[in-house]
Amino acid sequence: SSTFHTFWWDPLTGVPLRGTTAQGYSDDSCWARGQAWGIYGFALAYATDGDESLLRASERLADYFIDHLPADNVPYWDLVFSDGSGQPRDASSGAIAYCALALLQRLGRDAIAADKLSHYRTVSRSMLASLAEHYTPVSNGVCDALLLHSVYDMPQLVGVDEGCLWGDYFYLEALVRDAQPDWVSYWETTA
Q: Which tens digits make up the pLDDT trace of 138-179?
A: 876 678 899 999 999 999 999 999 999 999 999 999 999 999
Question: Can you give the pLDDT at residue 105?
Answer: 96
Question: Residue 158: CB partners within 8 Å, gap ≥ 6?
Answer: 152
Element (H, E) at 19: strand 16-20
The b-or-e profile of 65-87 (16+ CB within 10 A means b, else e) is bbebbbebbbbbbbbbbeeeeeb
State percent of the chain over pLDDT 90: 85
pLDDT digits (tens, 9 = 90+) for 84-116: 999 999 999 999 999 999 999 999 999 999 999
> What is the DSSP secondary structure assignment for residue 79, as one 8-state letter?
T
Question: Can you give the pLDDT at residue 188?
Answer: 83
Question: Can you give the pLDDT at residue 140?
Answer: 67
